[in-house]
Structure 1
Amino acid sequence: MNTKATGRGWAYFGAILGGGLSVTANIAHPYIAGDPAALEVIFSAAWPLLLFVGIEVLARVAFPTGFGYAFLRFAGVGLVALVAAIVSYRHLSGLFDHYGDDPMTVVIGPLAIDGLLAVCSAALILTGRKRALAEEAPAAKPAPPTTFEELFPHATAIHAEENPTYFPAAWSDPRQTHADAPVSPAPALPTPEPVPAVVDALPAPAPAVEECEAPEPEPQPEPVDPRMVTALPFDPLPEVGDPDRHPEIRRRAEALKAEDPKRSQQHIADLIGIARWTLRDALAKTAPQPASPPALTLVTT
Protein backbone atom coordinates (compact mmCIF):
# COMPACT_ATOMS: atom_id res chain seq x y z
CA MET A 1 0.00 0.00 0.00
CA ASN A 2 1.33 3.45 -0.88
CA THR A 3 1.52 5.44 2.36
CA LYS A 4 2.77 8.60 0.63
CA ALA A 5 -0.38 9.21 -1.46
CA THR A 6 -1.73 12.73 -0.90
CA GLY A 7 -4.83 12.65 -3.11
CA ARG A 8 -3.66 15.59 -5.25
CA GLY A 9 -4.96 13.83 -8.36
CA TRP A 10 -8.52 13.77 -6.98
CA ALA A 11 -8.12 17.37 -5.83
CA TYR A 12 -7.11 18.45 -9.35
CA PHE A 13 -9.98 16.43 -10.85
CA GLY A 14 -12.51 18.04 -8.49
CA ALA A 15 -11.16 21.54 -9.16
CA ILE A 16 -11.33 21.04 -12.93
CA LEU A 17 -14.83 19.50 -12.70
CA GLY A 18 -16.19 22.30 -10.51
CA GLY A 19 -14.55 24.96 -12.67
CA GLY A 20 -15.92 23.44 -15.88
CA LEU A 21 -19.48 23.25 -14.53
CA SER A 22 -19.25 26.81 -13.20
CA VAL A 23 -17.94 28.18 -16.52
CA THR A 24 -20.68 26.35 -18.44
CA ALA A 25 -23.43 27.68 -16.16
CA ASN A 26 -22.06 31.23 -16.27
CA ILE A 27 -21.97 31.09 -20.08
CA ALA A 28 -25.61 29.88 -20.15
CA HIS A 29 -26.78 32.74 -17.91
CA PRO A 30 -26.69 35.54 -20.57
CA TYR A 31 -28.84 33.42 -22.92
CA ILE A 32 -31.82 33.73 -20.54
CA ALA A 33 -32.69 37.20 -21.85
CA GLY A 34 -32.20 36.30 -25.52
CA ASP A 35 -29.27 36.38 -27.93
CA PRO A 36 -26.36 38.00 -25.99
CA ALA A 37 -23.32 39.69 -27.44
CA ALA A 38 -20.06 37.77 -27.64
CA LEU A 39 -18.34 40.13 -25.21
CA GLU A 40 -21.08 39.56 -22.62
CA VAL A 41 -20.61 35.77 -22.87
CA ILE A 42 -16.83 36.14 -22.46
CA PHE A 43 -17.19 38.28 -19.34
CA SER A 44 -19.76 35.85 -17.88
CA ALA A 45 -17.28 32.97 -18.23
CA ALA A 46 -14.44 35.00 -16.71
CA TRP A 47 -15.68 34.95 -13.09
CA PRO A 48 -15.05 31.26 -12.25
CA LEU A 49 -11.77 31.46 -14.17
CA LEU A 50 -10.68 34.37 -11.96
CA LEU A 51 -11.50 32.30 -8.88
CA PHE A 52 -9.60 29.25 -10.16
CA VAL A 53 -6.51 31.19 -11.32
CA GLY A 54 -6.35 33.18 -8.08
CA ILE A 55 -6.40 30.04 -5.94
CA GLU A 56 -3.77 28.38 -8.15
CA VAL A 57 -1.49 31.41 -7.69
CA LEU A 58 -2.04 31.21 -3.95
CA ALA A 59 -1.17 27.50 -3.95
CA ARG A 60 1.86 27.46 -6.28
CA VAL A 61 3.72 30.79 -6.08
CA ALA A 62 6.35 30.87 -3.30
CA PHE A 63 5.94 34.36 -1.80
CA PRO A 64 8.79 35.76 0.36
CA THR A 65 8.32 35.83 4.11
CA GLY A 66 7.06 38.99 5.81
CA PHE A 67 3.81 40.65 6.84
CA GLY A 68 3.49 42.69 3.65
CA TYR A 69 3.89 39.67 1.37
CA ALA A 70 1.48 37.64 3.53
CA PHE A 71 -1.11 40.44 3.32
CA LEU A 72 -0.63 40.70 -0.45
CA ARG A 73 -0.95 36.93 -0.82
CA PHE A 74 -4.03 36.25 1.30
CA ALA A 75 -5.92 39.57 1.35
CA GLY A 76 -5.37 40.31 -2.35
CA VAL A 77 -6.20 36.85 -3.64
CA GLY A 78 -8.99 36.53 -1.07
CA LEU A 79 -10.64 39.73 -2.34
CA VAL A 80 -10.48 38.52 -5.95
CA ALA A 81 -11.89 35.11 -4.99
CA LEU A 82 -14.70 36.67 -2.91
CA VAL A 83 -15.88 39.01 -5.68
CA ALA A 84 -15.69 36.25 -8.31
CA ALA A 85 -17.56 33.80 -6.05
CA ILE A 86 -20.40 36.30 -5.36
CA VAL A 87 -20.93 37.14 -9.05
CA SER A 88 -20.76 33.46 -10.07
CA TYR A 89 -23.24 32.54 -7.32
CA ARG A 90 -25.74 35.13 -8.55
CA HIS A 91 -25.41 33.92 -12.15
CA LEU A 92 -25.99 30.27 -11.18
CA SER A 93 -28.89 31.14 -8.87
CA GLY A 94 -30.60 33.20 -11.57
CA LEU A 95 -30.13 30.32 -14.02
CA PHE A 96 -31.76 27.82 -11.63
CA ASP A 97 -34.64 30.23 -10.97
CA HIS A 98 -35.21 30.69 -14.71
CA TYR A 99 -35.53 26.93 -15.26
CA GLY A 100 -38.16 26.67 -12.51
CA ASP A 101 -36.23 24.97 -9.70
CA ASP A 102 -37.60 25.13 -6.16
CA PRO A 103 -36.44 27.98 -3.87
CA MET A 104 -34.15 25.69 -1.85
CA THR A 105 -32.28 24.60 -4.99
CA VAL A 106 -32.04 28.21 -6.15
CA VAL A 107 -30.38 29.21 -2.85
CA ILE A 108 -28.01 26.26 -2.14
CA GLY A 109 -27.49 24.77 -5.62
CA PRO A 110 -24.69 27.14 -6.69
CA LEU A 111 -22.77 26.35 -3.49
CA ALA A 112 -22.23 22.74 -4.63
CA ILE A 113 -20.60 23.82 -7.92
CA ASP A 114 -18.44 26.72 -6.76
CA GLY A 115 -17.90 25.01 -3.39
CA LEU A 116 -16.34 21.97 -5.11
CA LEU A 117 -13.89 24.29 -6.89
CA ALA A 118 -13.00 26.09 -3.63
CA VAL A 119 -12.64 22.93 -1.50
CA CYS A 120 -10.48 21.10 -4.05
CA SER A 121 -8.31 24.20 -4.46
CA ALA A 122 -7.87 24.36 -0.68
CA ALA A 123 -6.87 20.68 -0.74
CA LEU A 124 -4.20 21.51 -3.32
CA ILE A 125 -2.83 24.20 -0.99
CA LEU A 126 -2.70 21.85 2.02
CA THR A 127 -1.08 18.96 0.17
CA GLY A 128 1.42 21.33 -1.44
CA ARG A 129 2.49 22.62 1.98
CA LYS A 130 2.86 19.10 3.39
CA ARG A 131 5.02 18.05 0.45
CA ALA A 132 7.23 21.13 0.80
CA LEU A 133 7.71 20.52 4.53
CA ALA A 134 8.58 16.86 3.88
CA GLU A 135 11.21 17.88 1.31
CA GLU A 136 12.72 20.52 3.64
CA ALA A 137 12.86 18.24 6.71
CA PRO A 138 16.46 17.16 7.51
CA ALA A 139 17.32 13.47 7.41
CA ALA A 140 17.45 11.68 10.75
CA LYS A 141 21.00 11.44 12.13
CA PRO A 142 22.24 8.09 13.50
CA ALA A 143 22.62 7.81 17.26
CA PRO A 144 26.18 8.44 18.53
CA PRO A 145 28.12 5.38 19.84
CA THR A 146 27.98 4.89 23.61
CA THR A 147 29.73 1.54 24.38
CA PHE A 148 33.40 0.57 24.14
CA GLU A 149 32.67 -1.94 21.39
CA GLU A 150 30.91 0.74 19.29
CA LEU A 151 33.65 3.34 19.87
CA PHE A 152 36.60 0.96 19.19
CA PRO A 153 35.37 -2.01 17.10
CA HIS A 154 38.87 -2.83 15.74
CA ALA A 155 40.45 -3.00 19.21
CA THR A 156 37.67 -5.28 20.44
CA ALA A 157 38.14 -7.68 17.50
CA ILE A 158 41.95 -7.87 17.99
CA HIS A 159 41.61 -8.52 21.73
CA ALA A 160 39.05 -11.27 21.12
CA GLU A 161 41.42 -13.03 18.68
CA GLU A 162 44.32 -12.93 21.21
CA ASN A 163 42.13 -14.07 24.16
CA PRO A 164 39.37 -16.38 22.90
CA THR A 165 37.92 -16.80 26.42
CA TYR A 166 37.63 -13.05 26.97
CA PHE A 167 34.22 -11.59 27.63
CA PRO A 168 33.51 -8.00 28.69
CA ALA A 169 32.59 -7.40 32.32
CA ALA A 170 29.12 -6.33 31.25
CA TRP A 171 28.46 -9.88 29.92
CA SER A 172 29.58 -11.80 33.08
CA ASP A 173 26.92 -13.39 35.30
CA PRO A 174 27.22 -12.09 38.90
CA ARG A 175 25.55 -15.27 40.23
CA GLN A 176 28.43 -17.40 38.86
CA THR A 177 31.15 -14.91 39.88
CA HIS A 178 30.08 -14.72 43.55
CA ALA A 179 28.64 -18.23 43.92
CA ASP A 180 31.31 -19.36 46.48
CA ALA A 181 31.31 -16.17 48.57
CA PRO A 182 30.09 -16.65 52.19
CA VAL A 183 26.70 -15.19 52.97
CA SER A 184 26.26 -13.48 56.36
CA PRO A 185 22.80 -13.41 57.94
CA ALA A 186 20.97 -10.10 58.03
CA PRO A 187 20.73 -8.42 61.48
CA ALA A 188 17.41 -8.66 63.27
CA LEU A 189 15.37 -5.46 63.31
CA PRO A 190 13.77 -4.22 66.57
CA THR A 191 10.02 -4.59 66.92
CA PRO A 192 8.33 -1.18 66.51
CA GLU A 193 6.12 0.07 69.34
CA PRO A 194 2.43 0.54 68.57
CA VAL A 195 1.33 4.10 67.88
CA PRO A 196 -1.90 5.23 69.60
CA ALA A 197 -4.74 6.03 67.25
CA VAL A 198 -5.65 9.70 67.02
CA VAL A 199 -8.60 9.40 64.67
CA ASP A 200 -11.16 9.79 67.49
CA ALA A 201 -9.53 13.01 68.70
CA LEU A 202 -10.13 14.78 65.40
CA PRO A 203 -13.27 16.96 65.22
CA ALA A 204 -16.15 15.73 63.10
CA PRO A 205 -16.41 17.43 59.73
CA ALA A 206 -19.08 20.07 59.36
CA PRO A 207 -22.17 19.02 57.41
CA ALA A 208 -22.19 20.09 53.82
CA VAL A 209 -24.49 22.98 53.03
CA GLU A 210 -26.38 22.69 49.80
CA GLU A 211 -26.30 25.83 47.73
CA CYS A 212 -29.60 26.94 46.34
CA GLU A 213 -29.37 27.59 42.65
CA ALA A 214 -31.00 30.73 41.39
CA PRO A 215 -33.88 30.06 39.01
CA GLU A 216 -32.97 30.57 35.39
CA PRO A 217 -34.73 33.52 33.76
CA GLU A 218 -37.37 32.63 31.23
CA PRO A 219 -36.34 33.36 27.64
CA GLN A 220 -37.90 36.51 26.31
CA PRO A 221 -39.49 36.28 22.87
CA GLU A 222 -37.61 38.12 20.17
CA PRO A 223 -39.37 41.26 18.93
CA VAL A 224 -41.04 40.90 15.55
CA ASP A 225 -40.04 43.37 12.86
CA PRO A 226 -43.23 45.26 11.88
CA ARG A 227 -41.94 45.46 8.32
CA MET A 228 -42.18 41.65 8.07
CA VAL A 229 -45.88 41.57 9.12
CA THR A 230 -48.67 42.21 6.60
CA ALA A 231 -52.43 41.93 6.62
CA LEU A 232 -52.78 41.72 2.83
CA PRO A 233 -54.19 38.38 1.61
CA PHE A 234 -52.49 36.94 -1.46
CA ASP A 235 -53.31 33.91 -3.60
CA PRO A 236 -50.55 31.48 -4.67
CA LEU A 237 -48.07 33.09 -7.08
CA PRO A 238 -48.28 31.93 -10.73
CA GLU A 239 -45.73 29.33 -11.80
CA VAL A 240 -42.47 30.16 -13.59
CA GLY A 241 -43.12 30.77 -17.29
CA ASP A 242 -46.68 32.06 -16.76
CA PRO A 243 -47.07 35.48 -18.48
CA ASP A 244 -49.02 36.72 -15.45
CA ARG A 245 -46.17 35.94 -13.00
CA HIS A 246 -44.18 39.19 -13.42
CA PRO A 247 -47.24 41.54 -13.42
CA GLU A 248 -48.54 39.77 -10.28
CA ILE A 249 -45.15 40.21 -8.57
CA ARG A 250 -45.22 43.94 -9.41
CA ARG A 251 -48.80 44.31 -8.11
CA ARG A 252 -47.91 42.64 -4.81
CA ALA A 253 -44.73 44.69 -4.45
CA GLU A 254 -46.62 47.97 -4.95
CA ALA A 255 -49.31 46.91 -2.45
CA LEU A 256 -46.75 45.96 0.22
CA LYS A 257 -44.80 49.19 -0.35
CA ALA A 258 -47.98 51.25 -0.02
CA GLU A 259 -48.87 49.41 3.21
CA ASP A 260 -45.48 50.23 4.81
CA PRO A 261 -43.20 52.69 2.94
CA LYS A 262 -40.25 51.69 5.18
CA ARG A 263 -40.02 48.25 3.60
CA SER A 264 -36.96 47.56 1.45
CA GLN A 265 -36.79 45.33 -1.62
CA GLN A 266 -35.44 42.48 0.55
CA HIS A 267 -38.43 42.74 2.94
CA ILE A 268 -40.90 42.77 0.02
CA ALA A 269 -39.18 39.81 -1.66
CA ASP A 270 -39.29 37.79 1.59
CA LEU A 271 -43.01 38.55 2.09
CA ILE A 272 -43.80 37.50 -1.50
CA GLY A 273 -41.60 34.38 -1.15
CA ILE A 274 -39.13 34.98 -3.98
CA ALA A 275 -35.48 35.97 -4.34
CA ARG A 276 -34.51 39.63 -4.41
CA TRP A 277 -33.05 39.48 -7.93
CA THR A 278 -36.28 37.80 -9.13
CA LEU A 279 -38.22 40.79 -7.77
CA ARG A 280 -35.88 43.22 -9.50
CA ASP A 281 -36.19 41.35 -12.82
CA ALA A 282 -39.99 41.42 -12.57
CA LEU A 283 -40.04 45.15 -11.79
CA ALA A 284 -37.67 45.86 -14.70
CA LYS A 285 -39.68 43.81 -17.20
CA THR A 286 -43.05 45.35 -16.18
CA ALA A 287 -41.87 48.96 -15.90
CA PRO A 288 -44.15 51.37 -17.80
CA GLN A 289 -42.73 52.43 -21.14
CA PRO A 290 -42.44 56.19 -21.82
CA ALA A 291 -44.98 57.57 -24.24
CA SER A 292 -43.62 58.19 -27.72
CA PRO A 293 -43.73 61.84 -28.90
CA PRO A 294 -46.19 62.73 -31.68
CA ALA A 295 -44.86 62.47 -35.18
CA LEU A 296 -43.98 65.72 -36.92
CA THR A 297 -45.88 66.60 -40.09
CA LEU A 298 -44.11 68.59 -42.77
CA VAL A 299 -46.36 71.40 -44.02
CA THR A 300 -45.51 72.94 -47.35
CA THR A 301 -46.90 76.22 -48.59
Structure 2
Amino acid sequence: MDIGGLARLSWYTWMLGVLIALGGACDARGPEGQPDAPAPRITDADYRTPVFGGKLLGTDRGEFIGQLVFENSDGNQTELLDKNVLGMVKTKEGVFVFTGLRHMGTNEGAIYHVSQNADTNARATLLTRLPGAPSRVQSHPDGSATFLIYRGYAGDHPHYECYFMEGRDISPCDAPIHNKPGRSTGIPACDAIRDMKSEPFRAGERGVDASYDELFYGDAYALREIAQCTGDERIMVDPRPIPAKVSDFAVGDAAFFLIMDKTGAGFEWFLPADALAERDERGASVYFDWVRKPGNRALLERSVGDFVEARTRASFEKPDTVN
Protein backbone atom coordinates (compact mmCIF):
# COMPACT_ATOMS: atom_id res chain seq x y z
CA MET A 1 0.00 0.00 0.00
CA ASP A 2 1.35 3.45 -0.92
CA ILE A 3 1.92 6.29 1.51
CA GLY A 4 -1.27 8.06 0.38
CA GLY A 5 -3.30 4.94 1.11
CA LEU A 6 -1.78 4.63 4.58
CA ALA A 7 -2.56 8.27 5.28
CA ARG A 8 -6.17 7.87 4.26
CA LEU A 9 -6.46 4.71 6.41
CA SER A 10 -4.98 6.52 9.41
CA TRP A 11 -7.41 9.42 8.93
CA TYR A 12 -10.41 7.04 8.72
CA THR A 13 -9.19 5.20 11.83
CA TRP A 14 -8.84 8.48 13.70
CA MET A 15 -12.34 9.63 12.72
CA LEU A 16 -13.82 6.26 13.69
CA GLY A 17 -12.20 6.54 17.10
CA VAL A 18 -13.59 10.05 17.59
CA LEU A 19 -17.13 8.94 16.65
CA ILE A 20 -16.96 5.95 19.00
CA ALA A 21 -15.76 8.19 21.82
CA LEU A 22 -18.53 10.70 21.20
CA GLY A 23 -21.13 7.94 21.04
CA GLY A 24 -19.90 6.53 24.32
CA ALA A 25 -20.08 9.95 25.96
CA CYS A 26 -23.64 10.46 24.74
CA ASP A 27 -24.66 7.07 26.13
CA ALA A 28 -22.82 7.33 29.45
CA ARG A 29 -24.46 5.08 31.98
CA GLY A 30 -24.36 4.96 35.74
CA PRO A 31 -24.51 1.90 37.99
CA GLU A 32 -26.64 -1.01 36.80
CA GLY A 33 -27.34 0.57 33.43
CA GLN A 34 -29.21 3.59 34.79
CA PRO A 35 -28.71 6.96 33.03
CA ASP A 36 -26.49 9.39 34.89
CA ALA A 37 -29.06 12.18 34.51
CA PRO A 38 -31.99 11.51 36.88
CA ALA A 39 -35.59 12.01 35.79
CA PRO A 40 -36.93 15.51 36.51
CA ARG A 41 -38.11 15.91 40.07
CA ILE A 42 -41.86 16.36 40.47
CA THR A 43 -42.72 19.48 42.47
CA ASP A 44 -46.23 20.14 41.15
CA ALA A 45 -48.15 16.86 40.84
CA ASP A 46 -51.50 16.51 39.09
CA TYR A 47 -52.29 13.45 41.24
CA ARG A 48 -51.02 12.35 44.64
CA THR A 49 -51.88 9.44 46.94
CA PRO A 50 -50.27 8.51 50.29
CA VAL A 51 -48.75 4.99 50.25
CA PHE A 52 -46.12 2.95 52.09
CA GLY A 53 -45.10 5.80 54.40
CA GLY A 54 -44.57 8.12 51.44
CA LYS A 55 -46.67 9.20 48.49
CA LEU A 56 -47.27 8.57 44.82
CA LEU A 57 -47.02 11.62 42.60
CA GLY A 58 -48.26 11.69 39.03
CA THR A 59 -48.16 14.22 36.22
CA ASP A 60 -49.96 14.53 32.90
CA ARG A 61 -47.90 16.37 30.28
CA GLY A 62 -49.87 15.36 27.21
CA GLU A 63 -47.71 14.67 24.17
CA PHE A 64 -44.62 15.57 26.22
CA ILE A 65 -45.35 12.59 28.55
CA GLY A 66 -45.60 12.77 32.32
CA GLN A 67 -44.30 10.61 35.16
CA LEU A 68 -45.30 8.46 38.09
CA VAL A 69 -42.87 8.64 41.00
CA PHE A 70 -42.73 7.37 44.57
CA GLU A 71 -41.52 9.88 47.14
CA ASN A 72 -40.39 8.36 50.44
CA SER A 73 -40.57 9.97 53.87
CA ASP A 74 -37.15 11.59 53.32
CA GLY A 75 -38.37 13.33 50.19
CA ASN A 76 -36.36 11.15 47.81
CA GLN A 77 -38.15 10.37 44.56
CA THR A 78 -37.97 7.21 42.46
CA GLU A 79 -39.49 7.13 38.98
CA LEU A 80 -41.88 4.21 38.50
CA LEU A 81 -43.37 5.02 35.10
CA ASP A 82 -42.53 7.33 32.23
CA LYS A 83 -46.18 7.83 31.27
CA ASN A 84 -48.99 10.34 31.65
CA VAL A 85 -50.93 9.75 34.86
CA LEU A 86 -54.68 10.31 34.37
CA GLY A 87 -56.01 9.06 37.70
CA MET A 88 -55.32 7.13 40.90
CA VAL A 89 -57.60 5.05 43.12
CA LYS A 90 -56.81 3.39 46.44
CA THR A 91 -58.87 0.27 47.24
CA LYS A 92 -58.68 -2.78 49.48
CA GLU A 93 -56.84 -4.48 46.60
CA GLY A 94 -54.15 -1.80 46.65
CA VAL A 95 -53.39 1.32 44.65
CA PHE A 96 -54.16 1.51 40.95
CA VAL A 97 -52.81 4.14 38.57
CA PHE A 98 -54.51 5.02 35.28
CA THR A 99 -52.24 6.14 32.45
CA GLY A 100 -52.76 7.09 28.85
CA LEU A 101 -52.41 9.50 25.98
CA ARG A 102 -54.98 11.01 23.67
CA HIS A 103 -53.21 13.14 21.09
CA MET A 104 -53.80 13.42 17.35
CA GLY A 105 -54.09 9.80 16.13
CA THR A 106 -53.00 8.24 19.42
CA ASN A 107 -55.61 6.96 21.88
CA GLU A 108 -54.19 4.51 24.41
CA GLY A 109 -54.49 3.72 28.09
CA ALA A 110 -53.56 1.25 30.81
CA ILE A 111 -54.00 0.48 34.50
CA TYR A 112 -51.03 -0.30 36.75
CA HIS A 113 -51.04 -1.87 40.21
CA VAL A 114 -48.60 -0.26 42.64
CA SER A 115 -47.10 -2.52 45.32
CA GLN A 116 -44.17 -2.40 47.75
CA ASN A 117 -40.88 -4.23 47.28
CA ALA A 118 -39.00 -6.00 50.03
CA ASP A 119 -36.62 -3.02 50.17
CA THR A 120 -39.62 -0.75 50.93
CA ASN A 121 -39.53 0.87 47.47
CA ALA A 122 -42.68 0.98 45.34
CA ARG A 123 -43.09 -0.71 41.97
CA ALA A 124 -45.73 -0.45 39.26
CA THR A 125 -46.94 -3.60 37.48
CA LEU A 126 -49.21 -3.57 34.43
CA LEU A 127 -52.72 -4.79 35.31
CA THR A 128 -54.36 -4.34 31.92
CA ARG A 129 -54.30 -2.26 28.79
CA LEU A 130 -57.38 -0.20 27.97
CA PRO A 131 -59.03 0.42 24.58
CA GLY A 132 -58.47 4.16 24.92
CA ALA A 133 -57.33 6.97 27.20
CA PRO A 134 -59.13 6.97 30.59
CA SER A 135 -60.68 10.06 32.19
CA ARG A 136 -63.05 11.06 35.03
CA VAL A 137 -61.58 8.37 37.29
CA GLN A 138 -63.73 8.21 40.44
CA SER A 139 -63.35 6.04 43.54
CA HIS A 140 -66.31 5.04 45.73
CA PRO A 141 -66.62 4.35 49.47
CA ASP A 142 -67.08 0.61 48.90
CA GLY A 143 -63.68 0.36 47.18
CA SER A 144 -64.95 0.25 43.61
CA ALA A 145 -64.18 2.78 40.91
CA THR A 146 -65.63 4.07 37.66
CA PHE A 147 -64.00 5.79 34.72
CA LEU A 148 -64.61 6.86 31.14
CA ILE A 149 -62.70 5.85 28.02
CA TYR A 150 -62.59 8.02 24.93
CA ARG A 151 -63.70 6.05 21.84
CA GLY A 152 -63.72 8.66 19.12
CA TYR A 153 -66.50 10.81 17.74
CA ALA A 154 -70.19 9.97 17.43
CA GLY A 155 -71.54 12.52 15.01
CA ASP A 156 -70.28 15.94 16.07
CA HIS A 157 -69.47 14.98 19.66
CA PRO A 158 -66.73 12.91 21.32
CA HIS A 159 -67.99 9.51 22.48
CA TYR A 160 -67.05 8.01 25.85
CA GLU A 161 -67.74 4.58 27.34
CA CYS A 162 -68.23 4.09 31.07
CA TYR A 163 -66.37 1.28 32.88
CA PHE A 164 -66.72 -0.15 36.37
CA MET A 165 -63.82 -1.56 38.38
CA GLU A 166 -64.17 -3.77 41.45
CA GLY A 167 -60.99 -5.31 42.80
CA ARG A 168 -59.06 -6.21 39.65
CA ASP A 169 -62.17 -6.90 37.57
CA ILE A 170 -63.24 -4.36 34.95
CA SER A 171 -66.54 -4.35 33.06
CA PRO A 172 -68.76 -1.86 31.21
CA CYS A 173 -71.05 0.13 33.51
CA ASP A 174 -74.11 -1.33 31.82
CA ALA A 175 -72.96 -4.96 32.09
CA PRO A 176 -75.53 -7.29 33.75
CA ILE A 177 -73.65 -7.75 37.03
CA HIS A 178 -75.20 -7.41 40.46
CA ASN A 179 -72.42 -5.97 42.58
CA LYS A 180 -72.54 -2.36 41.47
CA PRO A 181 -71.81 0.21 44.21
CA GLY A 182 -74.55 1.93 46.14
CA ARG A 183 -77.99 0.91 47.24
CA SER A 184 -80.93 -0.02 45.06
CA THR A 185 -84.45 0.99 46.06
CA GLY A 186 -85.93 -2.20 44.60
CA ILE A 187 -88.54 -0.14 42.75
CA PRO A 188 -89.29 -1.31 39.16
CA ALA A 189 -89.06 2.23 37.80
CA CYS A 190 -85.44 2.42 38.96
CA ASP A 191 -84.49 -0.57 36.82
CA ALA A 192 -86.26 1.02 33.85
CA ILE A 193 -84.31 4.24 34.46
CA ARG A 194 -81.08 2.26 34.61
CA ASP A 195 -81.87 0.82 31.17
CA MET A 196 -81.82 4.28 29.60
CA LYS A 197 -78.87 4.81 27.27
CA SER A 198 -79.75 8.24 25.84
CA GLU A 199 -81.83 11.23 26.84
CA PRO A 200 -83.18 13.59 24.17
CA PHE A 201 -81.76 17.08 23.84
CA ARG A 202 -85.27 18.53 24.28
CA ALA A 203 -87.36 17.33 27.19
CA GLY A 204 -90.04 14.90 26.05
CA GLU A 205 -88.72 14.41 22.53
CA ARG A 206 -89.84 10.99 21.30
CA GLY A 207 -87.86 8.29 19.53
CA VAL A 208 -84.42 8.80 21.07
CA ASP A 209 -84.60 6.04 23.70
CA ALA A 210 -87.42 3.52 24.26
CA SER A 211 -86.94 3.44 28.05
CA TYR A 212 -87.06 7.23 28.24
CA ASP A 213 -90.26 7.31 26.17
CA GLU A 214 -91.91 4.74 28.44
CA LEU A 215 -90.89 6.61 31.60
CA PHE A 216 -91.93 9.99 30.24
CA TYR A 217 -95.21 9.09 28.51
CA GLY A 218 -96.19 5.61 29.72
CA ASP A 219 -98.68 4.84 32.47
CA ALA A 220 -96.58 2.11 34.07
CA TYR A 221 -94.46 4.47 36.20
CA ALA A 222 -96.04 7.22 38.27
CA LEU A 223 -94.16 10.43 39.04
CA ARG A 224 -94.09 9.47 42.72
CA GLU A 225 -92.37 6.18 41.89
CA ILE A 226 -89.74 7.89 39.74
CA ALA A 227 -89.11 10.37 42.57
CA GLN A 228 -88.31 7.50 44.93
CA CYS A 229 -85.50 6.47 42.58
CA THR A 230 -83.49 9.64 43.33
CA GLY A 231 -82.01 7.70 46.26
CA ASP A 232 -80.74 4.85 44.04
CA GLU A 233 -76.92 5.00 44.10
CA ARG A 234 -76.18 2.30 41.51
CA ILE A 235 -73.86 3.41 38.72
CA MET A 236 -75.17 3.56 35.17
CA VAL A 237 -74.20 5.00 31.79
CA ASP A 238 -74.56 8.78 31.73
CA PRO A 239 -77.40 9.19 29.19
CA ARG A 240 -77.27 12.98 28.85
CA PRO A 241 -76.72 14.33 25.31
CA ILE A 242 -73.55 16.25 26.17
CA PRO A 243 -69.83 15.59 25.53
CA ALA A 244 -68.74 15.99 29.19
CA LYS A 245 -70.06 12.73 30.64
CA VAL A 246 -69.83 11.79 34.33
CA SER A 247 -68.20 8.46 35.18
CA ASP A 248 -70.01 8.00 38.53
CA PHE A 249 -73.46 8.87 37.17
CA ALA A 250 -76.08 7.18 39.37
CA VAL A 251 -79.61 5.95 38.74
CA GLY A 252 -80.69 8.63 41.21
CA ASP A 253 -79.17 11.30 38.99
CA ALA A 254 -81.11 10.05 35.96
CA ALA A 255 -84.30 9.98 38.03
CA PHE A 256 -83.69 13.57 39.13
CA PHE A 257 -83.14 14.83 35.58
CA LEU A 258 -86.22 12.90 34.44
CA ILE A 259 -88.29 14.58 37.17
CA MET A 260 -87.10 17.97 35.93
CA ASP A 261 -87.95 16.99 32.34
CA LYS A 262 -91.45 15.84 33.27
CA THR A 263 -92.32 18.80 35.50
CA GLY A 264 -90.33 21.69 34.04
CA ALA A 265 -88.81 22.43 37.45
CA GLY A 266 -85.23 23.66 37.62
CA PHE A 267 -82.32 23.09 39.99
CA GLU A 268 -83.47 26.01 42.14
CA TRP A 269 -86.48 23.98 43.29
CA PHE A 270 -84.31 21.35 44.94
CA LEU A 271 -80.77 22.58 45.67
CA PRO A 272 -79.75 25.14 48.32
CA ALA A 273 -78.81 28.63 47.17
CA ASP A 274 -75.12 28.26 48.06
CA ALA A 275 -74.86 25.19 45.80
CA LEU A 276 -76.24 27.20 42.87
CA ALA A 277 -73.87 30.17 43.19
CA GLU A 278 -71.79 29.14 40.16
CA ARG A 279 -74.55 27.54 38.10
CA ASP A 280 -74.31 30.08 35.27
CA GLU A 281 -70.60 29.34 34.77
CA ARG A 282 -70.53 25.61 35.56
CA GLY A 283 -73.99 24.33 34.65
CA ALA A 284 -74.95 20.87 35.92
CA SER A 285 -71.49 20.42 37.50
CA VAL A 286 -72.73 22.30 40.56
CA TYR A 287 -75.38 19.62 41.04
CA PHE A 288 -72.88 16.76 40.86
CA ASP A 289 -70.48 18.49 43.26
CA TRP A 290 -73.31 18.97 45.73
CA VAL A 291 -74.99 15.56 45.50
CA ARG A 292 -71.67 13.70 45.99
CA LYS A 293 -71.19 15.20 49.44
CA PRO A 294 -72.15 12.88 52.33
CA GLY A 295 -75.83 13.08 53.21
CA ASN A 296 -76.87 15.25 50.28
CA ARG A 297 -78.43 12.48 48.19
CA ALA A 298 -80.80 11.78 51.08
CA LEU A 299 -81.62 15.51 51.17
CA LEU A 300 -82.28 15.43 47.42
CA GLU A 301 -84.54 12.39 47.76
CA ARG A 302 -86.55 14.14 50.48
CA SER A 303 -86.74 17.42 48.55
CA VAL A 304 -87.90 15.74 45.33
CA GLY A 305 -90.40 13.60 47.27
CA ASP A 306 -91.91 16.67 48.97
CA PHE A 307 -92.10 18.48 45.63
CA VAL A 308 -93.88 15.58 43.92
CA GLU A 309 -96.30 15.10 46.83
CA ALA A 310 -97.22 18.79 46.78
CA ARG A 311 -97.65 18.68 43.04
CA THR A 312 -99.83 15.58 43.25
CA ARG A 313 -102.04 17.02 46.00
CA ALA A 314 -102.51 20.28 44.12
CA SER A 315 -103.14 18.39 40.86
CA PHE A 316 -100.63 20.57 39.04
CA GLU A 317 -100.57 20.30 35.27
CA LYS A 318 -97.42 19.87 33.23
CA PRO A 319 -96.04 23.17 31.88
CA ASP A 320 -97.17 23.88 28.32
CA THR A 321 -93.55 23.67 27.16
CA VAL A 322 -93.41 19.96 28.02
CA ASN A 323 -95.43 17.80 25.64
* TM-score (ref. length: structure 2): 0.19
What TM-score results when the alignment is normalised by the length of structure 1?
Answer: 0.20
- The structure with the largest helix share of the pair is 1
Which structure has the larger Rg over C-alpha atoms?
1
Considering fraction of residues, name the structure with more strand.
2
Q: Which has the higher contact order (CA 8 A, sep 6+)?
A: 1
